[in-house]
A and B are shown apart, each in its own frame.
Chain A
Amino acid sequence: MNMIKGKMNYWEGRGKVFDFLAPDIRGYERVNENRWFEMHQPLLLKMLNCQTGRDFFGIAHDAPLIIEIRKNVIKYALETKMTLKGLQILKVGADFRVGAKWANYIRLHWLDFIELAECFNWQSQLGFSGLGLLARVKGECVMASGRRLYDTLTAYPDPHPETNTNDARVYRTQANDTWSDLVTGAGTGVIEDGTPILVNWILDDAGTCPSNWFGMTRALTLFDTSSLPDDATISSATASIYGISAAMDYVAWETEFYLAPYAVAPASNTATVAADYGTFGTTTFATAKIYGDLVLSAYNDFTLNATGLAAISKIGVTKIGWRSTADVANSAPTCTSSPGADKYAVWRFGAAEATGTTNDPKLVVTYTLASGDTGGMFLVF
Chain B
Amino acid sequence: MALIDVKIKEIKRANGQTEVLVNVYRGAITTEDEALEDGTTQPVTRYRRAGKVASKNFIVDGEYTEDQVHKFVAAKVNQLAEQLGHTVIDKQKLDKAQVTTAVDVMKNLRETTL
Contacts and interface: CB of A to CB of B under 8 A. Distances in A.
Interface residues of A, number: 43
A70 to B, nearest CB: 12
Contacts of B39: 173
Nearest to A216: B37
A152 to B, nearest CB: 5
A156 B70 CA distance: 13
B82 to A, nearest CB: 18
A331 interface: no
A354 B39 CA distance: 23
B7 A159 contact: yes
A212 to B, nearest CB: 14
Interface in B16-67: 16-17, 23, 25, 34-39, 44, 46-47, 49, 51-52, 63, 66
A349 interface: no
Interface stretch (A2-10, A23-31, A52-60, A137-145): A2-10
Nearest to A8: B15
| Residue of A155, A156, A163, A356 with most partner-chain B CB within 10 A | A356
A161 B49 contact: yes
B37 A156 contact: no
Interface in A133-167: 149, 151-156, 158-161, 163
B63 to A, nearest CB: 8
Contacts, number: 101
A185 interface: no
Contact of A38 (B16, B38, B91): B16
24 contacts: A6-B15, A34-B15, A35-B15, A38-B16, A39-B16, A151-B13, A152-B12, A153-B13, A154-B66, A159-B25, A163-B23, A169-B37, A194-B34, A214-B38, A215-B37, A217-B37, A227-B10, A227-B12, A352-B7, A356-B70, A356-B91, A357-B70, A358-B70, A360-B8
Interface of B: 5-17, 23, 25, 34-39, 44, 46-47, 49, 51-52, 63, 66, 70, 73-74, 89, 91-92
Interface of A: 4-8, 34-35, 38-39, 149, 151-156, 158-161, 163, 169, 171, 173, 189, 191, 194-195, 200, 202, 214-215, 217, 224, 227, 342, 352, 354-358, 360
